[in-house]
Structure 1
Amino acid sequence: MTPPKPPEAAEPSPARRLLSTPTVGPLAALLLACVFFSFNSDQFLTGGNFSLIIQQVMVVGTLAIGQTLIILTAGIDLSNGAIMAFGGILMAKLAAEGTVPPLVAIALGLLVCAGFGAANGLLVTLVPLPPFIVTLGMLNVAFALTHIYSQDQTVTNLPAPLTALGETFAIGDTRVTYGSLLTILLFLLFAYLLGQTAWGKHVYALGNSPEVARLTGIRTGRLTVGVYTTAGFVYGIAALLLVSRTGVGDPQAGQTDNLDSITAVVLGGTSLFGGRGLVIGTLIGALIVGVFRNGLQLMGVASIYQTLITGILVILAVTVDQLSRRRIR
């Protein structure tokens, strides 16, 4: 007598699948925040204000793209703000002093930032050392090199190629910077790479289980170094965006941007334990921080309370992630 077949597990409904998507919660939070601030400030729902929000988050948002790549592999990068600061000073000083042509200065800055990322990746894989320790040490190295190289002097009188991304173009009555457009394009590019390519699937597999990824034939060491190097290159782009927005090379830049980038990643629904999250969620997370800070400022709330609210949001986001992981188990 043939034993009865076990009942097949019911397919989750479309509504259940939608609610389980990591970006749904952050997107709902962003929309609710926009509704709240639109009722409390007449200036909030204007094209100029939204353009300002994007300009305010474009540097941290770009840093957060690289941070997302690393966190998806179950790592973390505390050095990205310092790497960005060094890249910005290097580009600015080489170009302003005429040591090399401006475009060459930009290319060298990008390559040096990628080199910092590669060094992080090699130390994590070859020694091996925990990403937290490696990037904490690299933060101090990059911070010191920035101040040594710049002699604690702000670099001014930058040539036009270094400030071009800070120029604006018109969309209707709203002025938008080219840097904001570049940031959005970078998010779309990495959303495609992570979601539609073998490389992206390997990154998720590495974050879920390095051993299982290795047994399936993924060269986990090479992949990890590649992720950190790519993240470093993205930090170089963030350095160029920062220089173009401020118009100077500032040795004091980026000192809290590492934590702000982690905040954007976490608020966007990416798990700190790796293997789960979307880079578009990081964009939403960066916008949540930007909207809250902008909206509270328009309401006249002191900046210290903006920091307080951001901290509470991070704790809530990590708590939700922990609870969802337990439910999956």
Structure 2
Amino acid sequence: MKDKLPPLATLGPLVALLAACLFFATQSDRFLSAGNFSLILQQVMVVGVIAIGQTLIILTAGIDLSCGMVMALGSIVMSKFATELGLPAPLAILCGVAATTAFGLLNGLLVTRVKLPSFIVTLGTMNIAFAITQLYSNSQTVTDLPPLLTALGNTFQLGQTEFAWGALLMIGLYLLAWFVLRDTAAGRHVYAVGNNAEATRLVGIPTQRVLLGVYVMAGLCYGVASLLSVARTGVGDPNAGQTENLDAITAVVLGGTSLFGGRGVVLGTLVGALIVGVFRNGLTLMGVSSIYQVLITGILVILAVATDQLSRKGAR
């Protein structure tokens, strides 16, 4: 029976999510409403898409601290290109996504070619992206955006509840990433590099190319998150993204992906993002100060990492 059960790292996040929902349901009558769940999905859709890219990188035993600032840069690029340069909205969106993908390529080249640690590389590019964002925007919010840039923030009716198109896109991207990682050779190579990069290289898999592709795909995810951020807020905000890097890492860790690489399920990251969203939403409904929400999130991260360590020791 023990062998047939899912591993703790896979089952644990789902159990934690259900337990959190049950707890907050007892504390607030509004929590279990369909409208509230729709709100939670809207609140986590930006971090959720960023966390897809973060999951890919952490699966290879790396980490990306620049994701939030790169996302903010992408949102400013697409917003200003559309409003000030007068580019058609689709082209402006492509330019924003290209900017974030270029940062992903830069991170990947520094990690694979220069052999720098991902922590140091992305710490540097985080500050570079932040400086470029502030300089290019003059630290001013970009308003009066064309409707196409904010279309994913619009809602559609499902039963009696309004759901955002952006939340639907997030779920679709998770299903796509889950399929690629589980059922394609490229996805299996990502796990192999995270497990043992040298052994993977010796069997003929181009590990450097895999790593470079992972960072580029992560940058692409940050570009999509840029569009979702603009759609959700209705503006290009140069001060966005300042906590999204830690929120994304939190979602990945809570979702059961090992910080040591090679183990995890991307759908678990979605559960991790929802755990954070549920806790913040539930505590808000209870009237708890936002500082305690940060405190509890930190405790959850430590517990998740401790669980990962214990499961690794048990596997030995």
TM-score bracket, normalised by the shorter chain, equals over 0.9
Kindly indicate whether the alpha-carbon contact (under 8 Å) linking 2:195 and 2:261 is maintained by their aligned counterparts in 1. yes
For these two proteins, the number of residue pairs brought into alignment is 316
Residue 90 of structure 2 corresponds to residue 103 of structure 1: yes
Residue 17 of structure 2 corresponds to residue 30 of structure 1: yes
Q: Partner of 2:9: helix, strand, or coil?
A: coil
Residue 284 of structure 2 corresponds to residue 300 of structure 1: no
Corresponding residue for residue 166 of structure 2:
179
Amino acid at match of 2:271: I
Shift of 1:98: 4.0
Q: Which runs of 5+ in 1 are unaligned?
A: 1-12
The 5 A counterparts of 1:206-217 are 206-217=193-204
Residue 159 of structure 2 corresponds to residue 158 of structure 1: no
Higher alpha-carbon deviation: 134-143 or 20-29: 20-29
Shift of 1:23: 2.0
The 5 A counterparts of 1:1-329 are 13=1, 15-20=2-7, 22-329=9-316
Q: Which runs of 5+ in 2 are unaligned?
A: none
Shift of 1:21: 5.2
Amino acid at match of 1:300: G
Deviations, residues 96-148 of structure 1 (Å, cap 9, x unaligned):
12431111000111111111001000000101100000000000000000001
Using the alignment, how far apart are the partners of 1:132 and 1:17 within structure 2?
Answer: 37
Using the alignment, how far apart are the partners of 1:236 and 1:93 within structure 2?
Answer: 15
Kindly indicate whether the alpha-carbon contact (under 8 Å) linking 1:22 and 1:278 is maintained by their aligned counterparts in 2. no
Amino acid at match of 2:210: L
Using the alignment, how far apart are the partners of 1:99 and 1:111 within structure 2?
Answer: 18
For the aligned residue pairs, the C-alpha RMSD in angstroms reads 0.8
Kindly indicate whether the alpha-carbon contact (under 8 Å) linking 1:88 and 1:109 is maintained by their aligned counterparts in 2. yes
Using the alignment, how far apart are the partners of 1:17 and 1:117 within structure 2?
Answer: 39
Q: Partner of 2:163: helix, strand, or coil?
A: strand
Higher alpha-carbon deviation: 89-98 or 18-27: 18-27
Corresponding residue for residue 10 of structure 1:
none
The percent of aligned pairs where both chains have the same amino acid is 64
Using the alignment, how far apart are the partners of 1:79 and 1:258 within structure 2?
Answer: 7
Runs of at least 4 residues off by over 3 Å: none
